Amino acid sequence: MNVFDYVRPASVAEAVAAASEGDAAFLAGGTNLLDLMKAGASHPARLVDITRLPGLDDIEFAADGTIRIGALVKNSDLARDAAFLAAAPAVAEALLAGASPQLRNAATIGGNLMQRTRCAYFYDPHSACNRREAGAGCDARGGDTRNHAVLGWTDACIATHPSDLCVPLVALDAVVEIAGPGGTREVALEVFHALPGETSAAETALLPGELITAVRLPAEAATFAPNARYLKLRERTSYAFALVSAAAALRIEDGRILEARLALGGVAAKPWRARDAERLLAGAAPTPEAFRRAADAALDGAHPSGDNAEKIELAARVAARALALAAAGTPERMPALPGSVFAPAGVNANGGSVHG
């Protein structure tokens, strides 16, 4: 049986103080943490319950166009917010593609950023895993690697980050707001998650005791709303973690791409921002040929971490198709299967309109 202390602080300051003592974990929706504890992959000595902290469950729209999303906002609430759908449709599409409705109703935005890899060897306490125990090794190497990384991996770790939400957030330059023992600070989401090092011990930029309080989208994110999509390839279309995914956003004027954003999911230990592909698309006509060239650039340097070479081509095809869908325009209403390569135009389960 796991033995741990349970603390329910009344403020962010109390939460930070409680988490700064020993091996602690913050508890919000618990949709990932509790699974890890049950599987024996995580053994925090203290759970700091932040579910009742005031001020962390608001969606704020500033006069300058900035959107601030509290860490305790539920995934389902953000995806259904009409103003947010209009400003960041690709983020909403990723949220609706992320899990079952029951999980979306419990999961939080901050928790989504902090979810751990779904690597089967990480979840199995009898397998060697550097993420669970630094220096233990990586049993995924030479094992079942279908779902593993093709970019940014090392012999220390070939796991991938499982988030759908983080992929369009990275493409749109989201910033993470953090409170900790040393005060408050901000970190660009693009560098918030770490690629594996020699031991793969550090997975995020968070320091001991630090708590995510909000995620912020810059005003510029909304300028991509007319041409933004999230596309996800998965083994179970209704809901499953991405084999590969892509978030694409374009600003098109007079038949030319003024600016492009592209990020990939399911290919690395972090959402993968494809900046070389973005530069290649700037000034180009939105054609299938241009999108395929950009997709190939996004996967430049990719190599299999095992028996998963096909994943490189899959990722390139999904990236090219996401760009093509974005160029065709954000649909007036979310597809019936948001984020799916098989999704026709239609109405989602919530009946939500992308443009409010």
Could you tell me if residue 148 is inside a domain? no
Q: DSSP letters along 170-199, please?
A: HHTT-EEEEEETTEEEEEEHHHHBPPP-SS
Question: Is there a domain that residue 293 lies in?
Answer: yes
Q: Is residue 306 part of a domain?
A: yes
Q: Which domain holds residue 232?
A: 224-328
In-domain check, residue 322: yes
Q: What pLDDT is stored for residue 355 in this prediction?
A: 44
Spatial distance between the Cα atoms of 160 and 151, rounded to a whole number of angstroms: 9
Residue linked to tokens 């996004």: 298
In the numeric block, which tokens belong to residue 316? 């390139």
Q: pLDDT tens across 150-202, in order?
A: 999 999 999 999 999 999 999 999 999 999 999 999 999 999 999 998 555 67
Average pLDDT over residues 248-255: 97
Q: Does the residue 334 lie in any domain? A: no
Q: Residue 19 belongs to a domain with what CATH number?
A: 3.30.43.10
Confirm whether 356 is domain-assigned. no
Q: What is the pLDDT of residue 198?
A: 57
Residues 278/260, Cβ–Cβ less than 8 Å = yes
How many CA atoms does the CB half-sphere of 167 hold within 13 Å? 37
* Residue 233 placed within a domain: yes
* Number of structural domains found in the chain: 2
Averaged pLDDT score across all residues of the chain: 92
Q: Which residues pair with 24 in a beta bridge?
A: 46
For the domain that residue 295 is a member of, what is the CATH number?
3.30.390.50
In a domain, 242, yes or no: yes
State pLDDT tens for residues 40-60.
Answer: 888 899 999 999 999 999 999
